[in-house]
Structures are given as structure tokens and as C-alpha cells.
Amino acid sequence: MYPWALSDEIRMKRWQLWLGIGISVGLTGLALRGLRLDQVWSAVQGAAFGWLVPGIAVYFLAVWARAWRWHYLLRPLKQVPTTAAFPIVCIGYMGNNLYPARAGEILRSYVLRRKQGVPMSGSLATILVERSFDGLVMLGFIVFNLPELARATSDAGLVGSIRSVAVLGAVVFLAAVSVFGLFARFPAQAASLVSRLPLPTRFRPRAAGLVSRFLDGLASLRSPRQVLMVLLTSTVIWLLETAKYWFVMQAFPFKVSFFALMLMNGIVNLATTLPSAPGYLGTFDAPGIAVLAAYLVPKPLATAYTLVLHAALWLPITLLGAYYLARESVGWSAVRAELAQEAAG
């Protein structure tokens, strides 16, 4: 991020925040339309909350797997042990849950820079790789389980709409992974391509430095074996998260298959890429309730389950991330200063 762009960034973040709040309010209203909240509350009160304990445990196992994947992606930049990456990943999750526009990714990159000396532009490249592979796996979950959804609901329009969105999203994420892979395989050509962009002369040295560090962050994708490793790890991560959905379901008096929960996981996480209020309010809940309703789960029960699941996904990692962040004494002014310093350097 260039210093002269910081004020523009702040204005953009504010615009994204208000857009996200509008989308969250609209989707929340859509999800709650026609519901009797007393029935939802009654379903929440009747839940067997003991099932949340193994669900939260398996979720933190998935977070540990994320930390291992990030350690693997960071190896060309620096050997960062998984034990050191785990607290930073938790801080990133906390930031995404509390701040708009996935600001936790910037926060995660900054803390890594501060503790391990890894350039922010390089670590941000690894985070983009993570998100691209996550998107591919989520879309794979959706496409793989669409036949079951078609059997569960007679709404062919719903299935067709989900399929169309999934195919479009798959093209986008696959294109991103392909571009990253090509940039990693041919870094000199990628740098040369960027150098031809019509930038003002005084900005070109800074841009070249940022591009060089960004390409260093893609080095883990330079062989098919490494790409396969990241893809397999991403699949394991999301299967573990789906296992949390399954454990939380045991707390409620309904049953759908594990494959249905894979579909729900894919759809809600695809929806959370939309702008939203902090914590993915509405963008997580509305599609989750809709998927369960397609499997004929009563809407009050589907709403209670989705809200409890959302809270179980949000609260523990946010508290742990806040604890780790408090130990670092990090402020956003320091993050912006670091971004400006790296761009200037």
C-alpha cells in the first residue's frame, strides 16, 4: 500500500462498511421474515449444548491445520514453525470477525512481519493463495453435493441458481490459482509484465520492490507436488470444519447427511465473500437457513441451529485471537505505518 493511497483506502473501507451493513441488514431481514422468534428461542433453549465442546475442539484442529498450511506456504520466505503461525492465524480470524473488509488478513500479515521479519507483501501473497484454494474447495463441496440437493428439494430453480453461481465462482478461483501458479513458475516474466504497466516514473522502483516481494510469496506453487499438497491440506481443513457442523447438529432434534452439511458449508462460506457487517452477519445465516429449509428442516429449528453454529464459529476463535493480540500490543496506526514504510522501502 503506497502512503499516498492511505486516505483513499480509509474512504474505501468506510464505503465497504456501509455497503456491508446494508447487505447484512437485508439478508437478516430475509432470513427472519415470517418467523416466530419465540419458536426460535425455544429451539435454542432445548439444544444439548454439550455437543458444542467436541465441535469447538475439531474446529481448533482445523485452525491448527490452517497454521500448518500457512507454515508450508511461507517456507520460501522463512521457516516459520506451525506453533508460531497458529497464534497469528487466530489473530487474523479475530480481525476478520471484528473488522470489515477482511481487515484481519492485513493484521495477520503485520503481526508476522513484526515477529518473524517476513515482508508484508510476500505474506499477503501467501494469504491470497490460501483464499483461492479455499474457494476452490468450497465450490467443489457445492458441485459435488448438488445432486443430493436436487433429490431433497423440488425447487429446480434453486438448484440451477446454485449450480450457475458455483460454476462461475469455480472459473474465477481456478483462474486466480492458475495466474498465481504461472507467476510462481515464471517470476522474471511476471515482473517484466508488471514493469510495462503505465506507472509514473517515480513510482516504478517502489512498485518493482513490492512485486518482487509478492512473487517471492508465491514461490511455494512452483511445482505440481506443492500445489497438490496445498489443495489436499485445504480439503482436510474444510472437512474438519464440516465435522463441526455435524457435532453442533447433534445438539438439535433434526438430522441431515454429512454431505448436506458439506453443501451448507460451501454455500455459506461462498456467501461470506460478499461485503457484510463485521462477523458475517446475515451473509452466513440467511444461506445456511435456506439450505436446511431445502432439506425440509423446519425454519425455526434451522434458524436456531444456524445461529448457534455461527456463534460457536465466531466466539471462541475471536476470544483466543483477542488474547494473542493483547499480548502483541498492536494498533491500527502501527499497521498503516508499516504498510507505508514497506512501500517506501
pLDDT in tens, 24-45: 888 888 888 888 889 999 999 9
How confident is the model over 283-308, as pLDDT tens digits?
899 989 988 988 889 999 999 999 99
Mean pLDDT for 98-107 is: 85
Q: Please report how many Cα atoms fall inside a 13 Å half-sphere around the Cα of residue 62, on the Cβ side.
A: 22
Closest by CA position to 161, among listed 296, 274, 287, 20: 287
Domain boundaries, the chain: 3-344
The per-residue pLDDT for 157 is 52
Which range (7-16, 123-132, 174-183, 251-260) has the least confidence?
A: 7-16
The per-residue pLDDT for 32 is 82
Can you give the pTM of this predicted structure?
0.86
How confident is the model over 159-206, as pLDDT tens digits?
556 667 677 777 787 788 888 888 888 888 877 777 777 666 666 666
Please check whether residue 217 is in contact with residue 52, taking contact to mean a CB–CB distance below 8 angstroms: no
> Helix 120-152 and helix 258-271: axis angle, to 10°?
130
